[in-house]
């Protein structure tokens, strides 16, 4: 865009919401507000799906006190979508953007949303319409490539770490009641979120004891052997499983609970933990049960990582600066620095390299069996979850000698 012409900007949110996706939205809005070359600042309701229906709102008309409150509000305030562009959609979207004099698009989302932004940019180039589209990363799954990590992950990881610490204290207080407990996390094809359950672990005996991650095909015999060994040593065992783990035949553990496919053909599962509980009950004759925090893990307003929230704001603001610097068809990335202490700067990567690619956990973050993390993972993940986790008090249990 010619920087001397005023043009309108539209912002959208897409994919599974997070506890900080609104921080990126506010970051983009407040950065746009500072710049005289941005005229209208619009929002598309429910992402591209709403844009195609002309469900557009004027963000300059919102009450002034909204924005500071929105930063701490989980979920996608604009509404979200999981819509895969159909033939003719990009051209129809361009017609609508043109009719509103919109030349800037900020699209906040994960892999599939990056693909949508890419398709819009391609269609505009093909049609000769001056449009710049920047994708702003967001996903609790932390599976976007080319970025050190993804906004949304730090808060969800904090939730899972704390939930594992807190909820398993019930097992510890009365281990023989339900000696085996399985916690199911989200995470699609990457184990980042399930692995974050270890972040409050200070000792080998602290929960969780076994991670079941999509980075390795599930083997029932090895699993039962590990559960039994830990049970014999401690009197209980805590397992954390990622919802989309598959067995050696490629069949999802939770296939029993399979409830359909979303528009992107990812299987939607609900039964991995239940399956692992049944295995233990049937083969080890131990009482077992599962927790499944579900949507709460990505939406908990009292578990937001301050680091994650700050970075989510930062990538939103940097998306708008990239547009004003003439960039398009790119995603904002986070670049980690460790000197003098942990902080992130931002970069840009071509959307053509991103779309639909997933980053799983590297081998050096996991032990040989891929059922526990290594120190390298702690070094990677601890700075992302904000304030240090609490240290719960433990009694000295030395028995009185009569």
Instruction: State which residue, 1 or 70, has the beta carbon closest to its own copies.
Output: 70
Return the number of other C-beta atoms located less than 10 Å from residue 400's C-beta. 4
| 356 class by beta-carbon count within 10 Å (0-12 exposed, 13-18 middle, 19+ buried) | exposed
Whole-angstrom distance, CA of residue 203 vs CA of residue 158: 18
Whole-angstrom distance, CA of residue 235 vs CA of residue 389: 26
CB of 116 to its own copies, least distance (A): 14
Measured in degrees and rounded to the nearest 5, phi and psi for residue 200 equal: -95, 5
Q: In degrees, to the nearest 5, what angle opens at C-alpha 184 toward C-alphas 179 and 389?
A: 85
Which listed residue (112, 115, 141, 143) is catalytic? 141
CB of 19 to its own copies, least distance (A): 8
C-alpha pair distances (Å), 296 with each of 19, 29, 112, 186, 300: 9, 26, 22, 10, 5
User: Does the annotation count 262 as an active-site position?
Assistant: no
Instruction: State which residue, 161 or 213, has the beta carbon closest to its own copies.
Output: 161
Instruction: State which residue, 4 or 402, has the beta carbon closest to its own copies.
Output: 402
Pairing of strands 237-242, 210-212: parallel
Per-residue H/E/C for 164-186: HHHHHHHHHHCCCCCCEEEEEEC
CB of 59 to its own copies, least distance (A): 8
- For 300-317, the DSSP string reads -TTS--HHHHHHHHHHHH
- C-beta of residue 242 within 8 angstroms of C-beta of residue 187: yes
Nearest-CA neighbor of 109 among 119, 99, 101?
119
CB of 313 to its own copies, least distance (A): 15
Instruction: State which residue, 47 or 370, has the beta carbon closest to its own copies.
Output: 47
CB of 364 to its own copies, least distance (A): 31
Instruction: State which residue, 16 or 27, has the beta carbon closest to its own copies.
Output: 16
């Amino acid at each position: 865009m010619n920087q001397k012409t005023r043009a309108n900007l539209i912002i959208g949110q897409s994919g599974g919401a997070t506890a900080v996706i609104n921080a990126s939205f506010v970051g983009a809005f407040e950065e746009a507000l500072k710049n005289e070359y941005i005229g209208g600042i619009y929002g598309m309701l429910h992402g591209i799906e709403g844009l195609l229906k002309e469900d557009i709102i004027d963000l300059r008309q919102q009450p002034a006190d909204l924005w500071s409150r929105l930063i701490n509000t989980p979920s996608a305030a604009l509404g979200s979508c999981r819509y895969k562009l159909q033939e003719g959609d990009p051209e129809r979207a361009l017609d609508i953007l043109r009719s509103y004099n919109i030349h800037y698009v900020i699209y906040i989302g994960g892999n599939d949303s990056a693909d949508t932004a890419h398709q819009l940019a391609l269609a505009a180039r093909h049609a000769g319409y001056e449009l710049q589209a920047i994708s702003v990363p967001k996903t609790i799954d932390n599976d976007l490539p080319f970025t050190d990590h993804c906004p949304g992950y730090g808060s969800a990881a904090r939730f899972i770490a704390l939930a594992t610490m807190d909820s398993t204290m019930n097992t510890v207080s009365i281990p023989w009641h339900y000696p085996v407990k399985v916690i199911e996390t989200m995470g699609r094809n990457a184990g980042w979120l399930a692995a974050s359950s270890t972040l409050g672990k200070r000792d080998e005996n602290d929960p969780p004891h076994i991670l079941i991650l999509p980075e390795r095909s599930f083997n029932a015999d090895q699993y039962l052997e590990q559960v039994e060994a830990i049970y014999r040593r401690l009197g209980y065992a805590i397992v954390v499983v990622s919802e989309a783990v598959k067995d050696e035949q490629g069949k999802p553990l939770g296939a029993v609970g399979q409830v359909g496919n979303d528009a992107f053909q990812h299987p939607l599962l609900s039964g991995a933990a239940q399956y692992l509980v049944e295995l233990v009950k049937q083969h080890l004759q131990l009482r077992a049960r599962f927790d499944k925090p579900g949507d709460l893990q990505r939406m908990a307003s009292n578990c937001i990582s301050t680091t994650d929230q700050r970075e989510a704001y930062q990538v939103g603001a940097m998306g708008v600066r990239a547009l004003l610097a003439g960039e398009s068809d790119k995603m904002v990335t986070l670049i980690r620095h460790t000197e003098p202490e942990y902080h992130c700067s931002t970069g840009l990567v071509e959307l053509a390299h991103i779309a639909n690619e997933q980053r799983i956990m590297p081998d050096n973050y996991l032990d040989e069996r891929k059922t526990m993390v290594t120190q390298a993972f702690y070094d990677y993940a601890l700075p992302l979850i904000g304030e240090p986790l609490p240290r719960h008090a433990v009694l000295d249990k030395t028995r009185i000698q009569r």
